[in-house]
Each structure stands twice: as C-alpha cells, then as structure tokens.
Amino acid sequence: MITEKQIETYKKDGYLLLKNLFDTEEIGLLKKAALADRELDKRSYGRADGEGGTVRLSIWNHPGNNIYGSFARSERIVNVAEALLEGEVYHYHSKMILKDAKVGGAWTWHQDYGYWYNFGLLQPLLTSVTIAVDKATQENGCLQVLKGSHKMGRVDHTLKGDQAGADMERVEEAKKTFPLVYCEMDPGDAMFFDCNILHRSDQNRSDHSRWSLICCYNAARNDPYKEGQHASYTPLEKVGADAIKNSSVGGFDADPESKWVSPDTDKTIENMKS
C-alpha cells in the first residue's frame, strides 16, 4: 500500500511513479506472452498520429484470467488505485501499447477524460497505470506529462489525424505554467496518472521497442449513466502476490471476442468527427 505522502504527491502532481512494482521474472513472463500472442497482434490496430507515424495498440474491456488479467487484477495495482480514488474501483479497460523500434508512432497531447467524458462518466474519478514492459526513454518515445495540469479540468478535444487531441491553444498556454516531465521508466516500474493530466509521447525512432501495458480503473461510485465504449461497473476480483508467476503464459486465444474494443466500435473518433 502507498503512503499518505505518496497520495499527496499524486494529488498535487497528477501522477505517481512506483519503482520496481513488478520484478524481472514477472515482466519477463508478460513480455514473453505478448510477443507470442497471435490474438493480441491480430486485434491490434493503428492510429495515424498526424506526424507521419502510426500508433499500434490493442484494447480490451474485461481483465480475464490470463497473464494480462493477473496484472490488471493484482492487489499491488488495485489497492493503489483504490487509495488514490478513495474507494472501490473496477476495471474500466486495459490496452497494450506496441511502440516498435523505428516505426512506433506518437500520441498527441490529450487527457484521457477528454475521451471518456463522452461515454457517460459524470466525474473524472479515474486513474490509469502504465507498466513498463520495455525500458522507456526519451529516445524511444516515453510518456510525457505536464506536471499538475490535471488541475485545469477537462479541455476540449478535436481530431488530429486519427487521434483526438487536446485544444493546442490551451496546451501551449499550459506549457508556460506546468513543467514538462519525461517519464523514463525501467521494466517493472509502474506509473499512475490522473485522467485529466495532459500527456503525450513522441515517435519511436530508436533501435529499441517500447511496449507497455496500461490498465485503467474507474471508481465504482462513478458508474456510467449510459452504455459506452468501455466497461460499466463489474466487481473486480483481486489476485495476490503470486498470481502472475502462477498464471498461464497463454494469451487471448481462448477468451471471448466480446471484450475487445475494435476500430469499428471506437466511438471516440466518431464523436470527434461529428
């Protein structure tokens, strides 16, 4: 469990980096599973970044019982999310960001709540955690945040390429007030970030991949008032410290297709176009 000081840091800065939350063996199992997972690769799709590159990602709504679910349901993650959001949380969705060497695209400046607001969420009571599968550096397009920018509240978003990005006039003004931080991470590090913090990442033109698993959580008391792209409240069954090492390295091939979020159901982009 995190300390009161760490909770205060998260509320002040909008993010919290926890070093070595997962060990080398656990991250090695996740990497092995992801590389071998044909279903994960088949279900991945690209988003043009407006800078000549494409981001590749896979998104699913329900954590399941495979190795990805063992991470998403891990008490090491969920207990922190509940401490930060001050109450019960549930799994909103997870995604694997596949930023391959030389070709991985950028993410434009955005807030997650800039998207999720459209899916019936009345309050920004969500947090995400990005878990480094590969080492994340400035050279391979690590996450960038404007420290403290979550205090701005939700910013309007418009379409940039195939991505919905924050109003750049606001972003440029925000840069004058909120420090830009490059969130470099080692494999096994985990960084929680508020759904209203402005963040982006650059293209990966390095020789090293940057894959990461991002798990998103919504407060149970913030259940969407209408059906949206991601999950409504479902009780989350936590798993203990040994679950990842004891889980099957198998991937998604045995799971039902209904949990996947595909390009055809990506209403975020459709909302921005209309």
Q: Which two tokens stand for residue 52?
A: 């000549």
The partner residues of 16 in beta bridges, in order of sequence, read 192
3-state secondary structure of 258: helix
Tens-place pLDDT, residues 83-92: 999 999 999 9
3-state secondary structure of 58: strand
| Cβ atoms of 132 and 208 closer than 8 Å | no
Report the alpha-carbon distance of residue 15 to residue 252 in Å, rounded: 30
Is 80 exceeded by the pLDDT of residue 117? yes
Q: Which two tokens stand for residue 103?
A: 């070709």
Please give the residue that has the higher pLDDT: either 36 or 92: 92
Most confident of 53-67, 213-227, 258-272: 213-227
Among left, alpha and beta (phi > 0; psi -120 to 50; other), residue 188 is left
What integer pLDDT is reported at residue 258 of this predicted model? 39
The torsion angle over the Cα atoms of residues 264, 267, 273 and 274, rounded to 10 degrees, is 120
What integer pLDDT is reported at residue 249 of this predicted model? 61
Report the alpha-carbon distance of residue 210 to residue 131 in Å, rounded: 11
Is 50 exceeded by the pLDDT of residue 102? yes
| pTM for this prediction | 0.90
| Cβ atoms of 56 and 98 closer than 8 Å | yes
What integer pLDDT is reported at residue 90 of this predicted model? 98
Is 70 exceeded by the pLDDT of residue 252? no
Q: In the predicted model, what is the mean pLDDT of the chain? A: 87
Among residues 93, 89, 130, 94, the alpha carbon closest in space to that of 228 is found at 93
Among residues 51, 27, 60, 13, the alpha carbon closest in space to that of 199 is found at 13
Report the alpha-carbon distance of residue 125 to residue 150 in Å, rounded: 12
Instruction: Tell the burial category of 262 from Cβ atoms under 10 Å away from its Cβ (0-12, 13-18, 19+).
Output: exposed
Residue 15 phi/psi, 5-degree rounding, is -155, 160
| Cβ atoms of 179 and 99 closer than 8 Å | no
What integer pLDDT is reported at residue 248 of this predicted model? 67
Residue type, 186: D
Tens-place pLDDT, residues 129-188: 999 999 999 999 999 999 999 999 999 998 766 677 899 999 999 999 999 999 999 999
The torsion angle over the Cα atoms of residues 116, 228, 121 and 87, rounded to 10 degrees, is -100
Please give the residue that has the higher pLDDT: either 5 or 272: 5
What integer pLDDT is reported at residue 256 of this predicted model? 46
Is 60 exceeded by the pLDDT of residue 212? yes
What integer pLDDT is reported at residue 122 of this predicted model? 97
